[in-house]
Structure 1
Amino acid sequence: MDTQYWVGDFFIDLTRNQITQKMHSQTIPPKALAVLTYLAKNANKVVSHDELLSEVWPDTVVTPNTLHRSIAQLRKALGEGNLSFIKTHPKQGYSLEVEVRWQNNINSTSTDVTSDAFTSNHSSQEDTVDDSQVKDSTAPDSAQHSAPSRVALKLISMVAGGIILAIIGYQNLTPKQTPQLTFDKLRVLTATDDKEFDATYTPDGNYIVFHRYLDKLCVNKIWAKNISTQKEIQLTNDWGAYGRHSFSKDGKKLVFLATQPCNQPVTQRDCYDLVSLDFDKSLKSPQQPSVILKCKNSILKKPSWLNDGSITLKQRDSNGWKLINYSPSLNKSTDLYVPNDGSVIDYAYSVADDLIAVARIHKDGKQYIELISPDGKLLSSHPIERLPEISKFRSLYPNFDPLNKQLFFSTGRQLFTLSYEGKVTKINSPFGDRMTQPEFHPSGKKLLMLKGPYDSDIVKVPLNEITGIGLQTHRSETQTSQSQPESSQSKLSSSNQPTNYAIFERTNLGEDYALFQPGGKLIAFLSERSGEEQLWVSDGKDSQKLTNFPLDTYINGIDWAEDGKSLLVNANNVLTQVFLDSTQKTFPMEHPVSQLYQWESKNNSALMAVRIEGIIKIVEFDLNKSDFREVSDKFVFWTLKSEDGRLILYDHMGQFWKPGPVEPQQIKALNKQGGKSRSFVIKNNIIYDINDDNQLWSYDLNNDDFKILGEVGDNVDYLTDIDQTQLLMTIQVSAKKEVVELSLSK
């Protein structure tokens, strides 16, 4: 079957479902392309509606509107000015009125074209005789015949060479094919009750190296596993490791970011030392990492060891993220890549090609893929052309495919390749599980990923059980007997502290972010029980799903309207108002919403973080006028307004801030009170949160009164809401992550 052909100056590639003109590609539905292909095979002929329907949709009952829709898609793809390409014949059908060139015919006839050119030119040149050779009557016959032959051959070779060059040039206009990847095997490389994450291969491909975090014991260690023997080796003593590792080119050392062990007091949040580890020594006995670069106030992420021995990192500054280069030998860092506008989202380094790929947001708000050299020279820059399966504002985090001169990325349940020119192609995969952090084996034939659900439940706890004398909490008899599986009771009893809370909502997947309905009895929450994260409401007996967001949806923030009749949801970086009857109203957004913090429905304004030209800004957005004002230039994790309008901020250093006479003032009473959730709740001008010692506390903004209210179980992830008598919390049942390996089909 011919899979590539030209319609005028449009190149059609059926293997990629694309139409390309002048290096600009569009992805077209397969059925629409099938219509075009059948018309192309019958170019300049009228093809009836019935013939097209039976050819493209065999054994399927479809209406003529389906065909009309495909024709409209094709005309749009071929350009509004080229409507005459596909001509409508009323009550008859359609015809394709343009030259069609099939790629296989072009390739197969190239030799014949050269041969024909040689023959015609040779015969014509025999009649052309050089004067000097006619006059040379003394030359032997063989010489007299050979002289014209050399002239002819010279001219023939020039013509033939030109034709060959033209053919090569013509073929080079055809967009290069992105190699099609298909994975058909999956095997689990780690299988414990703990969290394994941030996995990488060693440069020789013999080991995987990963973090193993024991939640209950607050222990985080780095391990290696020999892929052949399956032997696991502990590489470090207790250490607060963070982020993925990167190996030196020779594989002898690895570098990563770290804090002190998590059983030591945290003085600075999100401030991590750059450390290294001797891999060979660690294989023999656990080693303590060596600090290369001590953290001060900078926010650093994702170190990568380059071939020249320097280390590249992402660094946040006031204008977003940039890349810096750190030299361990000189103990000096320099800017490697600072965008003139926008911000760096992510980057990847190819050891094989000594090349850096940067995913970046430009001033136009679009994400680009850019290639730079290790010295920071920009080699290419192209916008990423998104497929319909990828939401408009989703940030993409590509990595290198070492064999095929391309990149790839995951959106959760879907994998995609990304060409250096920004073209995206979906990868065929039979696996439907959510998997993240893809990284290829050095051979390019296998792929590491992380897999495993986060299982959390929602608990509703009377305040007096936390603040009173009895911390012994209980499960309600009704829910124990009617709605809770026996396994959920045993899962919740593993802590040394009382954690037998009454479960409000439970499945074996994530239930999260519960909020009381203002003036009502419902509780809104997020749940993955239907396969994707969706918005639900429950009265404690019956649950109702309000949304049906698409595959790989991510939700960052929900809040009730003050009248309790609807909620505002930040799904896929877009704000949507969802009513209790499941009807929705989407607000057009010029910028992606990173986090929704709060919705004041009375004046229809939202407090949120938006990404403007790649830089996160805290803004108050007027949903009626679709405009906003910036309310803080601080880099914060969480922010809320109190009932009397005071803006409270919680920053990356674990500090709380409130408005001051001139500038924000630090709330010193709350130093070191921020919890692992990096969020808080405000009710009646009082801040509530749970600290790292599992203590529920309050701070009254009116009289600066700080109180420890009581203690919660260590399986509590965070506080989500509170009213006069009860609080809502998310508890962690399990957060198992395991490293899996996908193999390419042969």
Structure 2
Amino acid sequence: MIIINGKTIDLATGELNQHGETQQLEPKVLAVLTVLYQANGMLVSQQTLLDTVWPNTVVAPNALQRCITQLRKHLADDDKTLIQTFAKRGYRLQVPTTTPRLKTTRSLPKPRSIAMIAVALLIILSLIWLQFSSPQQLLSVSKISPLTYQPSAEQQGSTFNQQLVYVNKTGNTSQLIWLNQTSGEERILHQSAHYLGVASFAADGETLLIAEQVFTEEDKESKKCSQIILLAVKNNSDPRIVSPCMSAQISQVYWLNQTKAIFLANNQLSTISLTAPHSQVTLNLTDDIAKIAHFTLSDQQLVISGQTATGQNSLWFLTPHTNDGFTLSHKINLTYDVFSASAAVKLTDNKWLQSHLNTLYVYCDAELCGQTPLATQATITLTAKLNPKTLLATSILKNAAITHRHWQEQQWQAKHILTSEFLERSAQFQPNGQAIAFISNRTGTEQLWLNQNTTAQNPKQLTFADPVHDYIWQADGQALWFLTAKGLYQLTLTAPEKITHHPLKTAISDLMQHVEDKDNNWLLVKTQAGSQLASVNLKTADLTLLNVVDVAWAQALDASRIIFATIKHPYLQLLSDNSTSPITELADIKLQWRFYLRHQQLYIPDKQTRIWRYDFTKRSKVQLGHYDADSFLTTDFQGAPLQMLSDTPKASQTNLVAISLTGLTP
């Protein structure tokens, strides 16, 4: 029993009593109240409420807002002081965290009353047990405090005792900064074009390893490679290069022991001798690791975040054995995409943490034992532990506009649309219509929105549950297909709007095109495992793998002909009857990012900032001016009238923050 604003509420039955009158709360309204009450006065994000009250469910628009409105009516919260709204973040129930004691009479209770009291006590004890045994109550975040304040990007932090090393990036230059957190002393350790991953301290804290990206000129063309360098912390001596410069990008390196390092490159973990740079040895890991997103080595325990061949996201925990090898200790299957999560961070001997979409997940031994939201508009990526009660993370507060350009007087005329303080991306024109769909984090997580045209400034939110990773318009413009961590969905826009889940047998990561004719209704997609080109039959849910791996982007002319480019070969090719061939007229065009097929014409931005239109009927190409820094990430083209949409990165604030934890026993 709890009392709020003079009203007695039974959280077990949903009965609300005042002045002898009883009202029954709806189940979802009661569930929302329970979550807010158990947060003990802390802010609860919209996403946490949706995930808790409507687990594994796509909810109707405004479902959560309706429950909040009903609660306020039941609690007579007319001035909205009991249930406080934090715009774009969530809600907080502002009531005492202790349950008030109800008045009782001195007369002896009747037998039936005794039974009712006993039942009530059991319910209260059960609620108390649930509150303290529930994973969500295992830890909470008391505050997120900035550690650095510069306008430049300060990121990729790592620590050793009171030493903090991080990357300060300005334009095309990155500096590796050393900071003594006790004295405040600070200095530049090294400077490079780009650092990869976080710095790894040696066991004595006097030297560190980090990977850097190097640009070279070869045959009048800029080439890039990555290498591992060793730096002394106490002096500014020249770095020692301890690996050859590799074409494969090194994403992270750690000390394995005093003479060897372990690093991730090209989806493989390898060891290298610090005194013999060419002595690389690829590690043989457990067979079910198909794709590695991150790895962490702490106190000789190796934790790998990755995916299996079927696309299952997992954490693998391995322990060392002889000859620098590792043996699998245990494995945890995850419900979120590891490629949008942080690397795992060790908190205590049996507790590991990982951040994903501003939620902190806690793993105890071999299972998930808690999670808590990070209530901030910035994107938080966990990088290290400062102490058993404080975490180190990178905070990125992004702002991006969607740029609309139209072709007029032989040049592109531009303007920003949907300008806001939030991250807006991936805008696409509606086929056979005027609307523009896009992804925005206006409500705290990335959701699908719809703008009626290029000039309107009052977009409509379309999705309200799990964050949307990717989407594509249906060919007729009457529906949208989108991906979340829970799978593929179709959102029909004809009244009444409806969201339908389409279970798939194989996990996919990118939606590139919807194709529909009298015989076919399918999606052109990329698989999570291996980035393989594939088609999904929307009638049968069957996925057919096509003969292209590491695909960058693709568009289908019809069911038998697909144009594609791969990550390693960014030139357009044609896949027909399971064989590939170059497109002769486009052989010299190196793809910038993506290309788009509209009415049998290809629109292709290239690496030389040119935009091309290629007509398949005439087999001819024509240049359509150039793109600039505001439109190099083109998200869609429309042929008549000729116009395009682009993601335009704007100023963002990137700094290091400290996350203070409570309720977690080290």
Taking the aligned partners of 1:382 and 1:521, their CA distance within structure 2 comes to 49
1:449 corresponds in structure 2 to: 393
184-193 or 694-703: bigger deviation: 694-703
Taking the aligned partners of 2:407 and 2:218, their CA distance within structure 1 comes to 30
Taking the aligned partners of 1:176 and 1:307, their CA distance within structure 2 comes to 39
Find out whether 1:204 has 2:161 as its counterpart.
yes
- Gap change, CA 1:740 and 1:439, over 3 Å in 2: same
Taking the aligned partners of 1:416 and 1:341, their CA distance within structure 2 comes to 23
> Deviation of residue 211 (structure 1)?
4.3
Taking the aligned partners of 2:349 and 2:187, their CA distance within structure 1 comes to 33
Gaps of 5+ in 2: 3-7, 32-111, 120-124, 126-132
1:188 corresponds in structure 2 to: 146
Matches within 5 A, 1:648-659: 648-653=563-568, 655-659=570-574
Find out whether 1:518 has 2:431 as its counterpart.
yes
2:541 corresponds in structure 1 to: 626
Find out whether 1:247 has 2:194 as its counterpart.
no
- Contact 2:157/2:164 (<8 A) preserved: no
Greater percentage in strand:
2
2:552 corresponds in structure 1 to: 637
- Contact 1:435/1:449 (<8 A) preserved: no
Q: TM-score, normalised by structure 1?
A: 0.64
Matches within 5 A, 1:127-276: 180-201=138-159, 203-214=160-171, 218-230=172-184, 232-261=186-215, 272-276=225-229
1:460 corresponds in structure 2 to: 404
2:660 corresponds in structure 1 to: 743
Taking the aligned partners of 2:563 and 2:437, their CA distance within structure 1 comes to 24
- Contact 1:369/1:421 (<8 A) preserved: no
- Contact 2:305/2:316 (<8 A) preserved: yes
Find out whether 1:440 has 2:354 as its counterpart.
no
- Contact 1:348/1:356 (<8 A) preserved: yes
- Gap change, CA 1:735 and 1:573, over 3 Å in 2: farther
Letter matched to residue 449 of structure 1: A
State, as a whole percentage, how many aligned pairs show the same letter.
17
Q: Secondary structure at the match of 2:426?
A: strand
1:696 corresponds in structure 2 to: 611
Taking the aligned partners of 1:210 and 1:404, their CA distance within structure 2 comes to 28
- Gap change, CA 1:333 and 1:550, over 3 Å in 2: same
- Gap change, CA 1:519 and 1:56, over 3 Å in 2: closer
1:726 maps to which of 643, 661, 666: 643
Taking the aligned partners of 2:597 and 2:141, their CA distance within structure 1 comes to 48
2:492 corresponds in structure 1 to: 579
- Contact 2:317/2:330 (<8 A) preserved: yes
Q: Secondary structure at the match of 2:565?
A: strand
1:311 corresponds in structure 2 to: 261
Find out whether 1:664 has 2:580 as its counterpart.
yes
- Gap change, CA 1:445 and 1:458, over 3 Å in 2: same
- Gap change, CA 1:325 and 1:698, over 3 Å in 2: farther
2:275 corresponds in structure 1 to: 329
Q: Secondary structure at the match of 2:191?
A: coil
Taking the aligned partners of 2:213 and 2:220, their CA distance within structure 1 comes to 9
1:383 corresponds in structure 2 to: 332
2:37 corresponds in structure 1 to: none
Matches within 5 A, 1:332-731: 332-351=279-298, 353-362=299-308, 366-374=312-320, 375-384=324-333, 397-427=342-372, 431-441=375-385, 443-464=387-408, 467-468=410-411, 473=413, 501-538=414-451, 539=453, 540-541=455-456, 543-550=458-465, 553-556=467-470, 558-572=471-485, 574-580=487-493, 581=495, 582-602=497-517, 603-611=520-528, 614-642=529-557, 646-653=561-568, 655-659=570-574, 663-666=579-582, 673-675=590-592, 678-700=593-615, 705=620, 708-724=623-639, 725-731=642-648
The CA RMSD measured in Å over matched residues stands at: 4.1
Structure whose CA Rg is larger:
1
> Deviation of residue 262 (structure 1)?
9.5
- Gap change, CA 1:244 and 1:402, over 3 Å in 2: same
User: Structure 1, residues 139-174: CA drift from partner, whole Å, max 9, x if none?
Assistant: xxxxxxxxxxxxxxxxxxxxxxxxxxxxxxxxxxxx
- Gap change, CA 1:247 and 1:652, over 3 Å in 2: farther
Q: How many residues align?
A: 548
Runs of 4 or more off by more than 6 Å in structure 1?
92-96, 175-179, 262-266, 392-395
Gaps of 5+ in 1: 1-30, 35-50, 71-88, 97-101, 103-174, 474-500
User: Structure 1, residues 560-602: CA drift from partner, whole Å, max 9, x if none?
Assistant: 2222211111233622111224421221123322111111143
Taking the aligned partners of 2:354 and 2:364, their CA distance within structure 1 comes to 11
- Contact 1:597/1:640 (<8 A) preserved: yes
- Contact 2:210/2:252 (<8 A) preserved: yes
Q: Secondary structure at the match of 1:183?
A: strand
> Deviation of residue 178 (structure 1)?
11
Q: Secondary structure at the match of 1:423?
A: strand
Taking the aligned partners of 1:428 and 1:623, their CA distance within structure 2 comes to 35
Taking the aligned partners of 2:194 and 2:219, their CA distance within structure 1 comes to 11
Letter matched to residue 310 of structure 1: K
> Deviation of residue 634 (structure 1)?
1.7
Taking the aligned partners of 1:364 and 1:732, their CA distance within structure 2 comes to 34
- Gap change, CA 1:458 and 1:295, over 3 Å in 2: same
Q: TM-score, normalised by structure 2?
A: 0.71
- Gap change, CA 1:397 and 1:376, over 3 Å in 2: farther
- Contact 1:367/1:395 (<8 A) preserved: no
User: Structure 1, residues 352-398: CA drift from partner, whole Å, max 9, x if none?
Assistant: x21111234346754443322243332422333x6xxx559987555
User: Structure 1, residues 599-629: CA drift from partner, whole Å, max 9, x if none?
Assistant: 1143220111223xx5443210001101011
User: Structure 1, residues 612-664: CA drift from partner, whole Å, max 9, x if none?
Assistant: xx544321000110101111342122222236853222322352241268842
Letter matched to residue 150 of structure 2: T
Taking the aligned partners of 2:626 and 2:405, their CA distance within structure 1 comes to 12
- Gap change, CA 1:658 and 1:692, over 3 Å in 2: closer
